Amino acid sequence: DKALDPGLVPMDDATKAGMLAGLEFRQPKSVASGVFVDDKGHVATSLANVAACAKLTVGLDTEADLIAQDAATGLALLAAAAPMAPQTVAQLASTSPAPGVEIAVAGYSYGARLPAPVLTFGQLDAAAGLSEEPGFLRLAAPLMAGDMGGPVLDTAGHVLGLAIPAPTNSAKQLPQGMALAAGTAPLAALLQGAGITPATSLTQTTTALSPDALNAAALGMTVQVACWED
């Protein structure tokens, strides 16, 4: 029942920054990537992202539980504690990729510093692991730690696998610009073991999406996965 002071004006960014100066905001230990695998908020990611975490969140706010993992392939599955409505979910490729095809990896390369995933483009080097193990992909793409757990996409927007860290070996190191991913077979097995039916592409189309459409698909399915110390 009282009018506002006519002298009140909206605060500009500089004023807001000044009011917050000196305050400390709680930050996660690390922020990497994951992908929505169904419309209920289940997220597949790299097991390395969620190891030794006191708390996990999808994004920076929604708490999540680790409900399945596969140490052999480095994959993990999270369940969000609160309902989520992803714009889209991962559509697993229905055919095996051929070496040399163009790929893009969607991931939060810079952790929480950017509000949307980055697309890193490259090529599929081989549909096998470092020792020719099945179920893995070797990528020619300059990935960063924040990209781990992000989806590897073909040009049609189908998911070929998830980026995972290379095995830690102080005596050996991957060549610069090379990376590793777990393929769709172990990813599908992880989901099925948790009672989730993987979404697969209904067609075998290889029609390339436009850059904007590919970016939109990546944006809708890729999510931050944050690891907190307490």
Position 221 scores a pLDDT of 97
Position 200 scores a pLDDT of 87
pTM of the full predicted structure?
0.85
Helical segments of 55-152, H only: none
Q: From the first residue on, what is the mean pLDDT of each consecutive set of 10 residues in the chain (230 residues)?
A: 58 62 74 96 96 94 96 97 92 89 96 93 94 94 97 96 85 83 97 94 73 93 94
Phi-psi region of 21 (alpha: psi -120 to 50; beta: other; left: phi over 0): beta
* Bridge partner residues of 228 (DSSP): 55
As separate numbers, helices (DSSP H) first and strands (DSSP E) second, the chain gives 4, 12
Q: What is the pLDDT of residues 23-41, one digit of tens each?
A: 556 789 999 999 999 999 9
Q: For residue 146, what is the DSSP state? A: G
Q: For residue 31, what is the DSSP state? A: E
Position 45 scores a pLDDT of 98
Neighbouring C-alpha atoms within 13 Å toward the C-beta of 172: 6
Q: Cα separation of 187 and 185, whole Å? A: 5
Position 207 scores a pLDDT of 84
Q: What is the pLDDT of residues 76-94, one digit of tens each?
A: 999 999 989 899 999 999 8
Q: Is the dihedral of CA 54, 107, 43, 46 positive or negative?
A: negative
